[in-house]
Structure 1
Amino acid sequence: MTSDIVAPSRALLAEPLVLPNGFVVPNRLAKAALSEGLGRRDFTPGTRIKNLYRRWADSGVGLSITGNVMVDRTAVGEPGNVIVEDRRHLDDLAAWATIAKSGGSKVWVQINHPGRQTPRTLTPRPVAPSAIAIPGTAKMFAQPRALSDAEIRDIIRRFATTAAVVTEAGFDGVQIHGAHGYLVSQFLSPLSNQRTDDWGGTPEKRRRFVLEVFRAIRAEVGADVPVGIKLNSADFQKGGFSEDESLEVVHALAAEGIDLLEISGGTYTSAAMLGVDDSLKESTRRREAYFLAYAERVRAERPELPLMLTGGFRTADGMVDALASGAIDLIGLGRPLAVQPDFPADLLAGRADASVVHPRRSGIRLLDNLTELTYYSVQMWRMAAGKEPAPDRHAALNVAQYLFNNGLESLRSPRA
């Protein structure tokens, strides 16, 4: 007896995606944001980041999302951040946009504020929703002070200004970073937001900040420019931001008209997005898509909302199966692009079936996190210098190069 089941075709990866506002993503593969650490000392893009995006321009992705672009030069997330506060470096940004888009992909800028999640060597007195430090990291992160109402409103304005400037420079859209323990994520979590005013105290008030950020951006860029968000499915900490509360945030953002939701999960203290944390079951890793079950929940309740899923995809079959299931619309690829910059194009052309990327696990969390961080960062820096990635380079050389560039304050979980 023969089976009538037909395996889904890899042609699914090449299908365009039309967002509700009419914006077209040429195919179903996206470069997820990776914090490049390549900006100049004056926080402008400069030559190195342009070299990296020139190398990625022909990668084959339909959508490319830049790494963290910060909205305030007094709140720096990592060494080498690009920061956009106004139009003073518009020409430099425009050159970056032109290079990044030269291969035909659409390019969005991920915009962010680190809040308390900034090394004390970069921001000695960070701000946060509440004066609560990141647990167990006192040597790396300073005790934050709580934001005033006026400061919160100023940061919202800054998000909108940054969005307006980068889209004027030629980028196609923006993504709000609402995951991985940065400021938006801090407002959403009951562990880091213990305010009792209009910005905290209940789930509705905790999500007010992200809704106001989205509204301010939309008012600046208009309805034709896509605005997306990267959101945690959960932060994988006891008493923290849960899947149920995340789903409530999704409903609120969908009602406001968010154009694309990218699903991720975890924080620096529970790095589920990297596949090196014990919070992920082995069965989840084998399924490739770390947060697919949550995506299925979102799809069931908000079928009209386009979904991008990042974290764990390594094989063509895994990607095709996730798309064919109807649970998601875009495949987010991060670390594979740092090691195999042509991987999406090779997938689309049938020249590759799987990525060589896999989490490097020793069983020692700090060592795993450090190895992951340095390995992928150094590969990007090589491309920024006009070289090709070196996947087999010894981990000790990567760690030494990373620490030489960024110092001991960089000894923390990988950034995305």
Structure 2
Amino acid sequence: MPPFDVPEGDPFGPHNLPYGVFSPSGSTERRVGVRLGEYVLDAGAAAAALRSPHHPLLARPTLNALLAAGRPTWSQVRHAVTAWVTDPAHRETVEPLFYLLSEVTLHLPFEVADYVDFYASENHARNVGQIFRPDAEDSLTPNWKHLPIGYHGRAGTVIASGTDVVRPSGQRKGPGDPAPVFGPSIRLDIEAEVGFVVGAPSELGKQVGLGDFREHVFGLCLLNDWSARDIQAWEYVPLGPFLGKSFATSVSAWITPLDALEHARVAPPQRTHPLLPYLDDSTPQTEPGGYDLHISVAINGHVVSEPPFSTMYWTAAQQLAHMTVNGASLRTGDLYGSGTVSGPEESQRGSLLELTWNGRDPLELPDGKRAFLEDGDVVTLSAWAPGADGRRVGLGEVSGRIVSG
């Protein structure tokens, strides 16, 4: 089927057009691409052929130049690319510049500057609190409803979908163990998340307000924050995540621009505590912040959970505002994760920690029971969002296979 003839209802039609980086078969050259159905358009080559002024941004091995260009340019490039793949006048020029997705290699689409991960789902936070603090009066920590809790991760271990995840080793100590031992993690877990990609930077010492979210954030992608729960549990107190998280974070090869998700914007859940002014999104003038994303989590092809992103208590706009309120600056290529996405139902939990209740209730999969991940397991996150006229906007999947260390 020719690339222009995208089937009706395809979630990667011209209403979507996510950006990625690819290499054609037999080549190591990395090129910016735009996905259309089951094809990828060489965006730099198309810009050159059509003498577009955006050629310098698209003829690159990463998305960083485009990310740094800012919102007016992002909109102009999207408008141009949409015309390239929909206007019959461009068909003869552009059609030879498409490649089948099955015949290209996809790469990490941007150079990651910094990585921050949050803890923004009330359902997830309450589940974790009940698991680890069953006798506590409130399963949430005292600060949870007042600020988006987060930690700084390791940008150098953010990897593209399809990259194997090596089972990490480290110290672990069970409740009954007399001393810690060293070895491979035996409680390796997933966290189904959404990652937000920063484009336009900010000035050191200057706060980024709620209303500036869309001026700085280019788009989003699915993200799996792999977690070694046994390593994490032993190292966690008194500081935050370290080796239990830093070994790998997988992201999709496709970044969906915010402009493709206009019809998926929703208000967040009702606030139960007054918020300080820099986080207060209660006025009609503030960024709605929420996105109606429908996520699916599969282990070895078997769906185990379907977390709804619309239930997230803290929004990406609030997370950005909190991340910079102390004057910390944004850099092009900054990535921040939403935190585990979990809904109110058991079938909507975004981690094995919750799905198995810390291993107490193993999942029944076609290939056996799972409390936590085994070597050879393949975890795949996929998602869609509502678009105009009943169409779906697909998010690029993120997948990883566990291999022994």
TM-score by length of 1: 0.24
Q: Mark the structure with the bigger radius of gyration.
A: 2
Greater share of residues in helix: 1
Higher relative contact order (CA 8 A, sep 6+): 2
